[in-house]
């Protein structure tokens, strides 16, 4: 069976990145927005692993970077969810439209 | 490396203090932390090693040590100023834990010699900052600000990472030295470079990446606002200058145009929005956006004078902005007032604080005897070395606009009548030390030419 070409994988990851961006801009629920951000970060992970495997298999830079991104994304999600929970206690809502006291 | 180790030791001392004792006297704690921070600042001048560590991931030299010491000074001033606010707060230790971990992240970011190290430092510097923005636990605005900050910083780091991954795909290397050799103006590399600049732009809040700034600055507690606008922004400017000057110097013409556009937009939009603000925190947010525009002008020069002027201006900016935020912090903590109208007639009741705020605003506006004038003068002089006089003219015109809104506050404080001005605010010892440091810094840094010469002698 033939190997999947690199361009296919890059199509997937780029698509995933922009789906994440679209989700971040259109969704109004904070948890969903966080999920959209995770999509963006995961598309970057795919990029790194694919580049490492196809183009530079002699060094492991890309794999290392992926491990760090996964770890940091987990930390970021933890802090973000804590903030959203706190926001829910204050506002009784996790819709971003309701958290709009400050404008301009 | 010693500076990082010392800071880690301080973080652990505070952590064990928190774990060991149930209820700590907050006054004593403040004194302890401030002494520790002062030791941290003083010790920074005694370490003189330079070199690289961890397989060339971490690099330090005299200039980077000086940049870290500048940040230490800023943190010490902020800590002294926020004593009044923190001693009422029940989570003072946690505040310092978060603040010092972001400072540690900034150290790693400044010293990074590899994009992986840079990214880890960047996230260590920005995630705890979001938790700090939420520190007024019972205020709605505070948690709203924290939410806005973490969403936009996560989005910004997403863009940055996408740029880095493409850069890795094109070049196959992540170290600064490797990137320097292979940097080219092939379209894919430029695309990744622009995404990288977008990531930088978010952190220094240059227009068009500034949309989070005003809301986050207004909602956060003032200590956190001043930390964000001075320390977080300053560290990112240091990193940006060293990365652009030493890693991407081969594609100078690309980033020259990028930075020129960012600078013009930041100055104009920052100024125009600052004109219509009533809340002083929000006002200082927009004024800091326009200051970033001036810093970017200095950065476009890409020569040692430019690097020196940027670092010199950040030092002055720390003094002047922290003096302004310090006055605001005192008044807002004691009396809860922070709009320009409420500051009318401030001179009648608080002459000392009025003078401090006035000197700080003069320095931000760039009026001669203060250091701000010299800072902006050197920035624009450095920018003029590329003979792009259109850019310099726009910068000069923007300085005139900015003069208007800084003077508006001074006029409100000194001249406007007010039936019930803000009552007299007591200044306790630690904010007093901070104010004396700031005002002395504003006056002396400009007049003593040794400061500029010293920085210039360290710039590679």
Residue A1 inside a domain? The answer is no
- B349: tokens are 């009741």
Contact A48 B147 (CB under 8 A): no
Report the percent of chain B where pLDDT is more than 70. 100
**Lowest-pLDDT range of A84-88, A93-97, B319-323:** A93-97
Which secondary-structure segment (H or E) carries A34? helix A30-54
pLDDT band at A74 (very low <50, low <70, confident <90, very high): very high
Q: Does B154 touch chain A (CB under 8 A)?
A: yes
Structural domain that includes position B89:
2-458
Counting the structural domains of chain B, the total is 1
Counting the structural domains of chain A, the total is 1
Query: What's the rounded mean pLDDT across residues A25-49?
Result: 92
Contact A37 B158 (CB under 8 A): yes
Nearest CB among A43, A65, A79 relative to B130 is that of A79
Structural domain that includes position A76:
6-93
pLDDT band at B419 (very low <50, low <70, confident <90, very high): confident
Distance CA B372, CA B349 (A): 27
Residue A104 inside a domain? The answer is no
- pLDDT for B118-163, tens place per residue? 999 999 999 999 999 998 888 888 888 999 999 999 999 999 999 9
What is the model's pLDDT at position B19? 84
What is the model's pLDDT at position B73? 92
Distance CA B403, CA B405 (A): 6
Residue A31 inside a domain? The answer is yes
Q: Is the pLDDT of residue A20 over 90?
A: yes
Distance CA B265, CA B46 (A): 41
Contact A80 B151 (CB under 8 A): yes
Q: Which residue has the higher pLDDT, B416 or B434?
A: B434
Distance CA B318, CA B141 (A): 26
Q: Is the pLDDT of residue A104 over 60?
A: no
pLDDT band at A103 (very low <50, low <70, confident <90, very high): low
Highest mean pLDDT of the ranges A83-92, B49-58, B233-242: B233-242
What is the model's pLDDT at position B335? 82
What is the model's pLDDT at position B264? 92
Note which residues in 31-60 of chain A have CB less than 8 A from chain B: 33-34, 37, 40-41, 43-44, 47-48, 51, 55-56, 59
Distance CA B427, CA B423 (A): 13
What is the model's pLDDT at position B320? 92
What is the model's pLDDT at position B26? 76
What is the model's pLDDT at position A72? 93
What is the model's pLDDT at position A1? 54
Q: Is the pLDDT of residue B249 over 90?
A: no
Per the prediction, chain B carries an average pLDDT of 88
Using alpha carbons, list the distances in angstroms from residue B342 to B10, B41, B98, B226, B331: 40, 37, 33, 21, 11
pLDDT band at A99 (very low <50, low <70, confident <90, very high): confident
Measured between CA atoms, how close is B276 to chain A, in angstroms?
A: 10
Q: Is the pLDDT of residue B456 over 80?
A: yes
């Amino acid at each position: 069976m033939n190997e999947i070409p690199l361009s296919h994988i890059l199509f997937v990851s780029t698509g995933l990145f922009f789906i994440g961006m679209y989700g971040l801009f259109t969704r109004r629920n904070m948890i969903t927005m966080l999920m959209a951000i995770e999509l963006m970060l995961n598309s970057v992970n795919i990029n790194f692993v694919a580049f490492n495997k196809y183009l530079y298999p002699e060094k492991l830079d890309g794999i290392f970077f992926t491990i760090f991104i996964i770890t940091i994304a987990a930390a970021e999600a933890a802090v973000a969810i804590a903030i959203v929970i706190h926001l829910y206690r204050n506002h009784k809502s996790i819709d971003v439209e309701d958290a709009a006291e400050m404008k301009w | 490396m010693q500076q990082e180790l010392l800071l880690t030791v301080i973080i652990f001392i505070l952590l064990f203090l928190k774990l060991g004792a149930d209820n700590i006297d907050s006054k004593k704690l403040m004194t302890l932390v401030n002494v520790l921070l002062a030791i941290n600042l003083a010790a920074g001048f005694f370490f003189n090693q330079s070199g690289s560590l961890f397989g060339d991931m971490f690099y330090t030299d005299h200039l980077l040590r000086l940049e870290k010491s500048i940040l230490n000074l800023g943190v010490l001033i902020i800590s002294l100023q926020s004593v009044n606010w923190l001693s009422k707060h029940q989570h003072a230790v946690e505040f310092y834990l978060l603040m010092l971990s972001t400072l540690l992240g900034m150290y790693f970011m400044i010293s990074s010699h590899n994009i992986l190290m840079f990214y880890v430092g960047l996230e260590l510097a920005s995630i705890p900052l979001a938790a700090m923005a939420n520190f007024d636990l019972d205020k709605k605005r505070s948690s709203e600000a924290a939410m806005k900050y973490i969403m936009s910083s996560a989005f910004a780091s997403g863009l940055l990472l996408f740029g880095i991954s493409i850069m890795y795909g094109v070049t196959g290397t992540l170290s600064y030295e490797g990137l320097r050799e292979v940097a080219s103006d092939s379209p894919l590399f430029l695309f990744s470079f622009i995404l990288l600049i977008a990531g930088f732009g978010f952190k220094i809040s240059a227009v068009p990446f500034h949309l989070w700034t005003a809301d986050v600055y207004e909602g956060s507690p003032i200590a956190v606002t001043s930390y964000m606008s001075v320390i977080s922004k300053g560290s990112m400017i240091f990193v940006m200058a060293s990365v652009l000057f030493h890693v991407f110097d081969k594609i100078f013409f690309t980033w020259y145009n990028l930075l020129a556009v960012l600078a013009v937009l930041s100055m104009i939009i920052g100024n125009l929005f600052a004109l219509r603000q009533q809340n002083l925190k929000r006002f200082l947010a927009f004024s800091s956006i326009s200051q970033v525009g001036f810093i970017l002008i200095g950065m476009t020069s890409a020569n040692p004078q430019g690097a020196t002027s940027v670092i010199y201006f950040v030092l002055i900016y720390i003094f002047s902005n922290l003096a302004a935020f310090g006055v605001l912090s005192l008044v807002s903590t004691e009396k809860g007032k922070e709009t320009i109208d409420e500051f009318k007639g401030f001179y009648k009741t608080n002459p000392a604080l009025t003078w401090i705020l006035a000197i700080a605003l003069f320095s931000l506006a760039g009026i001669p005897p203060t250091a701000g004038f010299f800072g902006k003068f050197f920035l624009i002089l450095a920018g003029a070395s590329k003979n792009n006089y259109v850019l310099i003219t726009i910068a000069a015109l923007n300085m005139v606009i900015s003069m208007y809104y800084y003077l508006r506050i001074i006029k409100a404080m000194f001249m406007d009548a007010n039936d019930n001005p803000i009552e007299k605010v007591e200044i306790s010892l630690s904010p007093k030390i901070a104010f004396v440091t700031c005002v002395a810094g504003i006056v002396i840094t400009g007049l003593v030419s040794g400061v500029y010469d010293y920085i210039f002698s360290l710039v590679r």
